[in-house]
Amino acid sequence: PGFDVWGMDVSRFGDWATLSYTNTKVQENYSRRFSIRFPNEELPAGRPLRTTPVYDKLISEGAQMGSSFGLEVPLWFAPKGVTDKFSWRRSTDFEHVAQEVQAVRESVGVLEISGFAKYTVVGSGASDWLDQILACRIPKPGRMTLAPMLNENGKLIGDFTLANLDDDEFFIAGSGLAEEYHLRWFEQHLPESTNFEVIPHRADILGLSIAGAKSRELLAKITDEDVSRDAFRFMDIRELNIEMVSCLVGRVSYTGDLGFELWMEADVQRYVLELLLREGEEFDIRLFGLRALNSLRLEKNYGSWSTEYRPLFGPLEAGLSPFVALNKDAGFIGKDAAIQENSNGGILRLCTFIVEVKDADVIGDEPIWFGNEVKGSVTSGGFAHNSGVSVAMGYVSKEIANKKQGWFVEILGERYPATLQTEPLFDPKGEIMRG
């Protein structure tokens, strides 16, 4: 725990975790002290607590909800009469998540992304401060970039999307689970005197994501502005009028597909969702949840916070070195250590494996074998429905990270053959995502 104490960090909870909430969860935990918690089991005590304006709409559409930082988030959408059957193996959600994935890859899906943490950094000096605290190069106005954040040891303590709205105003989106954790880091590294402020948005700014082959056509239907490929490039961001609502729209999607993220004030979120569903009917639009998102991001070898991206790993090890600007003038936190890692190559490499297993998938922390020796551990994984394969991501020694064959991943006590996947299963060159 000397390297990563996230599991004991009080910042895992916000102001919503009152004494009454704590007592409720403690009682639930005690009552289950001899019970097994299944990987797809969502515990009910203290819920629902935090909800968004579209919560009841999602429930009416069959949303099976989970809780993230106290907020109810859609995991998947079930037909009437179908619910999660708790299991260590694939369960009742499997075929329905597959349909959500198919809708995104073939047409368009919409996902609520309010669970992401959102911050604005605004005022004179904001750009210079961000240049010191983030390892990336600051994007130009109207552009976004992936922004790793390192500690003094050069290890990953955050991964964000950083958007430059103008030279004195920036929008940051990151992991909702780590909202207080990251805000604490920001505040600890503010200069004594500043002319800018860091504003956490919490529940006042909410989001929706549209993704898939028809997402641009859908967006074009609901705005009068030009959102064609050349006019609205990959990683562009701007204010758009979405019929009667002004939204901050970025051309990016964690699905790895063509897609857009729409950020709006909380009191108009329901209007925007209903507009998207209504205007998307001709494209057979479908709501999708976080389990489908997990399946989609695995096809792109995308990591996530608290699994692939943790203070245990450096940016080179995690595959994020293209987003670390070692040659920029700013002496960002962790720069010296990142330069050293770049020089010596680090110790580990994040790899993606295709596992030959029929009815179960990894959930995290399973051993990764090379031959007859354990050489690493799984960080996350699942079933990539669009590609029809089981995927595991994890870290192994850099010396063997280029070996394609000879791997096994252990699932539920059994070893299954695995093959190193050296490029993304979906859109390996990023042509669809950037198209």
Structural domains of the chain, count: 1
Residue 425 lies in a domain: yes
Residue 410 lies in a domain: yes
Residue 288 lies in a domain: no
pLDDT digits (tens, 9 = 90+) for 272-296: 999 999 999 999 999 999 999 999 9
Look-up: residue for tokens 């064609």? 228
Residue 398 lies in a domain: yes
Contacts of residue 104, Cβ cutoff 8 Å, sequence gap at least 6: 211, 212, 255, 257, 286, 288, 292, 296
Give the span between the Cα atoms of 411 and 418, in whole angstroms.
11
Give the span between the Cα atoms of 413 and 367, in whole angstroms.
10
Residue 409 lies in a domain: yes
pLDDT digits (tens, 9 = 90+) for 98-136: 999 999 999 999 999 999 999 999 999 999 999 999 999
pLDDT digits (tens, 9 = 90+) for 34-85: 999 999 999 999 999 999 999 999 999 999 999 999 999 999 999 999 988 9
Domain region containing 435: 347-435
Give the CATH number, domain containing residue 417.
2.40.30.110
Residue 51 lies in a domain: no
Residue 84 lies in a domain: no
Closest among 253, 248, 294, 290 to 272, alpha carbons compared: 248
Residue 177 lies in a domain: no
0.85 surpassed by pTM: yes
